[in-house]
């Protein structure tokens, strides 16, 4: 089975790496914090100390990292990927990062006759683990085709785009919706509670209406249980809101709602919810409305 590189064992990366190992791929893995390598018990992986060492054994590497700074550090840093990439090699980044970064990475790899594919994903820890992510892949057609089998293991549907920016922007558009939807649910919960109606009734009504979504039901149940264990951090949704506003300014798209929503996520940071699930935004809205959590 093919040997591929894998960089980043965070919430998503750990599950994606385990999925690839379970399907027989051999992995060469780099993670900044070495202790996290212990999460992969499977014997079919080899750890390396530096990103560049991956190219010694693999022609394709996947990265799943926090943000643009993290991806740039494994590419441009000391012993980063770009320094020793060979013609034809492929770096697939699946993180949610800025379009200016993905465009620069694409061009810098191209200058070395190599490929950069941006393939961000929709779905979270569960979907990463069972291979049902939705994948938006942008870049050179030839490189995307070579990675198709890998995408089939990680995702249940693939959308291909002829530029990295299209894939990047679609992911950011989706996440701007997530950031707003959880606020809509939280506000409805708080309004109902202050009227003496339970959150369970709100979810039941949603379930029977055209407004329903799997996200409302899953996050709604977690909010009811008071379970804010992170699947997707508050700090990362705020990153994505900032990316939306960056695109909005560049493309001259007014996004007044996402600007207002950003203030609530900044309050979540101020309250210390940075490393909780983004549904912790419910607590911010409830507290502003004078409810006791």
Residues that bind ligand NAP (CB under 6 A): 8-13, 31-33, 36, 64-67, 69-70, 73-74, 95-96, 121, 124-125, 231-232, 236
What is the length of the chain?
293
Write down the least CB distance from residue 59 to ligand NAP, Å: 22
Which one of 18, 166, 171, 219 is the catalytic residue?
Answer: 171
The answer to whether residue 171 is catalytic is yes
* Min CB(68)–ligand NAP separation in Å: 9
Nearer to ligand NAP, 95 or 186 (CB): 95
Distance of CA 124 to the CA centre of its chain: 8
CB of 252 to ligand NAP, least distance (A): 25
Residue (33 or 214) nearer to ligand NAP, CB: 33
Q: From CA 176, how far away is CA 170, in angstroms rounded?
A: 10
Strands (DSSP E) contained in 98-247 are 115-118, 121-122, 133-138, 155-161
* Closest CA relative to residue 118, chosen from 100, 145, 136: 136
Q: How far is the CB of 291 from ligand NAP (least distance, A)?
A: 27
Q: Record the tokens describing residue 62, joined without a space.
A: 């996947």
Coil, strand or helix: which one is 120? coil
The two three-digit tokens of residue 127, written as one number: 């979907």
Of the pair 190, 240, the CB lying nearest ligand NAP is at 240
Q: How far apart are CA 166 and CA 261, in angstroms?
A: 24
* Choice between 32 and 146, CB closer to ligand NAP: 32
Q: Which residues of 83-92 are buried (b: 16+ CB within 10 A; e: fewer)?
A: ebbeeebbbb
Residue nearest to ligand NAP (CB): 10
Residues with a catalytic annotation lie at: 171
């Amino acid at each position: 089975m093919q040997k591929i590189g894998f960089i980043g064992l965070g919430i998503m990366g750990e599950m994606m790496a385990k999925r690839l190992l379970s399907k027989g791929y051999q992995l060469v893995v780099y993670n900044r914090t070495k202790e996290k390598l212990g999460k992969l018990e499977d014997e079919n992986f080899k750890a390396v100390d530096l990103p560049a060492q991956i190219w010694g054994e693999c022609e394709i590497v996947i990265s799943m990292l926090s943000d643009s700074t993290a991806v740039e550090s494994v590419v441009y840093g000391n012993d980063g990927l770009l320094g020793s990439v060979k013609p034809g090699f492929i770096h697939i980044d699946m993180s949610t990062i800025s379009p200016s970064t993905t465009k620069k990475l694409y061009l810098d790899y191209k200058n070395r006759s190599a490929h950069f594919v941006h393939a961000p994903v929709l779905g979270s820890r569960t979907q990463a683990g069972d291979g049902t992510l939705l994948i938006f892949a942008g870049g050179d057609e030839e490189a995307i085709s070579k990675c198709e089998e890998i995408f089939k293991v990680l995702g249940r549907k693939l959308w291909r785009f002829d530029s990295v920016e299209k894939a990047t922007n679609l992911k950011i558009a989706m996440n701007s919706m997530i950031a707003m939807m959880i606020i809509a649910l939280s506000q409805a919960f708080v309004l109902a509670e202050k009227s003496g109606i339970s959150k369970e009734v709100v979810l039941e009504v949603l379930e029977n209406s055209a407004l329903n979504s799997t996200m409302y039901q899953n996050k709604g149940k977690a909010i009811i249980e008071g379970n804010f264990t992170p699947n997707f951090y508050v700090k990362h949704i705020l990153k994505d809101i900032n990316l939306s506003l960056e695109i909005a300014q560049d493309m001259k798209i007014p996004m007044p709602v996402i600007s207002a929503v950003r203030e609530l996520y900044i309050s979540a940071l101020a309250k210390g919810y940075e490393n909780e699930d983004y549904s912790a935004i419910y607590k911010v809205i409830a507290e502003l409305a004078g409810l006791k959590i």
